Amino acid sequence: MVSRREIPPPEAGARLTIDLGALVANWRDLAALAAPGDCAGVVKADAYGLGIAEAVPALAEAGCATFFVALPVEARQVRAAAPEATIYVLGGFAPESAAAFDEAGARPVLGSLAEVEAWAALCHAEGARRPAAIHVDTGMNRLGLSADEVDALAARPELTESFELALVMSHLACADTPEHPLNARQVDRFTSLRARFPPTPASLANSGGTLLGPPYRLDLARPGIAVYGGRALADRPNPMRPVVRLEARILQVRTARAGERVGYGAVQTLTRDTRLAILAAGYADGYIRAAGGADGRPGASAYLGGHRAPLVGRVSMDLIAIDVTDVPEIFVKSGNYAELLGDNFTVDDLADRAGTIGYEVLTRLGGRVHRVYSGE
Ligand SMILES: *Cc1c(COP(=O)(O)O)cnc(C)c1O
């Protein structure tokens, strides 16, 4: 199980609310797009930081029968949360991890000829044709059999016959950029490579691919980020519901004069007399440090009662300063919470401001916050 240091609300500086209802509704929308194909859930990295132990049962209940993780240890967490599920491990197979695959009842995604040989040898030794997926590379050059390895494998049918080939998959490198020419090229390469195998269900689409359209969806879609409410396609409106809300407690409210500076490095000078609220959250809670403010470069925004309060100065390890001058007094009291992530300022808004992607924002959301699961 995931070990999570639970921080009781009065002691925690920040509160992370994860809306499992929105998460499930997002998955259902993606599953409707994927139909008549199936839709899996990608839950690697503790369900993108949101909690395998909570997200997986909710998805399984909604009808998600297949989960993808990166590592065998994550497969074990998924198995504990979804006893009936089919679980694929994207990171492939090494003989040392055979016991972990057994224990989790997980299937490897075999990504090289050596891994295919190792799985075939295991099945041979056990006298059981255990299921696995094969990953073929179609242009990303990360994991997956190259075209040459697919040729070599085709010349050795006894290898693929020694286990149950349950899925042939590949992964899109540029699905977040619909007009990128590599997308269509990967579909073409995948079509010709999968034809080298006996008829087998096929999977190509991550979240972006699922949104891109029918040529990408095939038999099984593998969305991750869109399930968690993140933006899958760049420069398009995001059709998914936000899933996370991060709020931080106001520790104190203070006034500083025009011309004074705020925070480490004194990188932001106040241009007016300013009311500042100091929040009990910082980069140690997963909030991205690069989203702070500086002269000539506005920072991210917080919201109080729907009113915007821009960050001022650098984000500290445990503290963030915001400008609440324009926020009605009633919302600005020590002990109140300010929203750092949510419907007003999303995970992707923060990522854009900090020069990263929503995936990184989500997977960093921290071990020091009080977690609340809602909407079950
Ligand atoms: C992480 C991952 C996914 C999910 O990608 P998203 O962009 O989060 O939808 C799908 N397939 C593979 C192989 C992955 O590594």
- pLDDT tens, residue by residue, 104-152: 999 999 999 999 999 999 999 999 999 999 999 999 999 999 999 999 9
The first and second tokens of residue 214, run together, are 């029918």
* Best residue for ligand 1 mutational test, from 206, 243, 361 (most atoms within 8 Å of Cβ): 206
Q: What spacing in Å lies between the alpha carbon of 317 and ligand 1's midpoint?
A: 30
Helices 52-61 + 72-81 axis angle, to 10: 50
**Contact (Cβ atoms closer than 8 angstroms) between residue 100 and residue 74:** no
Q: What spacing in Å lies between the alpha carbon of 27 and ligand 1's midpoint?
A: 14
**Contact (Cβ atoms closer than 8 angstroms) between residue 204 and residue 220:** no
Other C-beta atoms closer than 10 Å to the C-beta of 235 total 9
Tell how many helices (H) and how many strands (E) occur in the chain.
Answer: 13, 19
Contact partners, residue 115, CB within 8 Å, separation at least 6: 92, 93, 94, 108
Reported as a single tens digit per residue, the pLDDT across 46-69 is 999 999 999 999 999 999 999 999
The first and second tokens of residue 62, run together, are 């909604």
Q: What spacing in Å lies between the alpha carbon of 244 and ligand 1's midpoint?
A: 19
DSSP secondary structure, 271-302, as one string: SS-EEEEEES--GGGT--GGG--BTTB---EE
Average pLDDT (216-229) is 98
Q: Which atom of ligand 1 is nearest the CA belonging to 209?
A: 9
DSSP class of 9: T
- Closest among 64, 66, 34 to 215, alpha carbons compared: 34
Average pLDDT (366-374) is 90
Q: What spacing in Å lies between the alpha carbon of 202 and ligand 1's midpoint?
A: 15
The first and second tokens of residue 270, run together, are 């106040």
Q: Is 333 marked active-site?
A: no
- Closest among 79, 50, 80 to 66, alpha carbons compared: 79
Average pLDDT (326-342) is 96
| The pLDDT value given to residue 43 | 98
Q: In angstroms, rounded to a whole number, what is the distance separating the alpha carbons of residues 260 and 228?
A: 40
Q: What spacing in Å lies between the alpha carbon of 179 and ligand 1's midpoint?
A: 19
Q: In angstroms, rounded to a whole number, what is the distance separating the alpha carbons of residues 371 and 174?
A: 33
Reported as a single tens digit per residue, the pLDDT across 81-93 is 999 999 999 999 9
CA–CA–CA angle 288, 285, 89 (5° rounding): 85
Q: Which atom of ligand 1 is nearest the CA belonging to 48?
A: 8
Q: In angstroms, rounded to a whole number, what is the distance separating the alpha carbons of residues 308 and 310?
A: 6
Which residue owns the Cα nearest ligand 1 atom 6?
Answer: 224
| The pLDDT value given to residue 3 | 36
| The pLDDT value given to residue 247 | 97
Asked, as a colleague might, if the bond just before 298 is cis with ω within 30 of 0, I would say: no
**Strands 38-39 and 261-262, how do they pair?**
unpaired
Calculate the average pLDDT of the chain: 96
| The pLDDT value given to residue 376 | 66
The first and second tokens of residue 262, run together, are 């705020």
DSSP class of 311: B
Other C-beta atoms closer than 10 Å to the C-beta of 128 total 12
Q: In angstroms, rounded to a whole number, what is the distance separating the alpha carbons of residues 268 and 152?
A: 61
Range with lowest mean pLDDT among 199-203, 263-267, 289-293, 366-370: 366-370
Which residue owns the Cα nearest ligand 1 atom 11?
Answer: 206
| The pLDDT value given to residue 230 | 98
Q: In angstroms, rounded to a whole number, what is the distance separating the alpha carbons of residues 185 and 193?
A: 12
Active-site residue identified among 44, 283, 337, 359? 44
Q: Which atom of ligand 1 is nearest the CA belonging to 90?
A: 13
Q: Which atom of ligand 1 is nearest the CA belonging to 175?
A: 7
Q: Which atom of ligand 1 is nearest the CA belonging to 109?
A: 13
Contact partners, residue 164, CB within 8 Å, separation at least 6: 129, 130, 131, 132
Band of pLDDT at residue 1, cut at 50, 70 and 90 = very low
Active-site residue identified among 88, 228, 264, 373? 264
Residue 327 has pLDDT above 50, yes or no: yes
Q: In angstroms, rounded to a whole number, what is the distance separating the alpha carbons of residues 356 and 116?
A: 35
Return the beta strands (E) in 113-155 as ranges.
131-135
Residue 2 has pLDDT above 80, yes or no: no
**Contact (Cβ atoms closer than 8 angstroms) between residue 201 and residue 170:** no
Residue 307 has pLDDT above 50, yes or no: yes
The pTM for the full model equals 0.96
| The pLDDT value given to residue 145 | 98
Reported as a single tens digit per residue, the pLDDT across 24-46 is 999 999 999 999 999 999 999 99
Q: Please, what's the b/e burial string for 345-364 (b: 16 or more CB within 10 A of its CB; e: otherwise)?
A: bbbbbbbebbebbbbbbbbe
- Pocket (CB within 6 angstroms of ligand 1): 42, 44, 90, 171, 206-208, 222-226
Reported as a single tens digit per residue, the pLDDT across 152-207 is 999 999 999 999 999 999 999 999 999 999 999 999 999 999 999 999 999 999 99
Q: What spacing in Å lies between the alpha carbon of 113 and ligand 1's midpoint?
A: 22
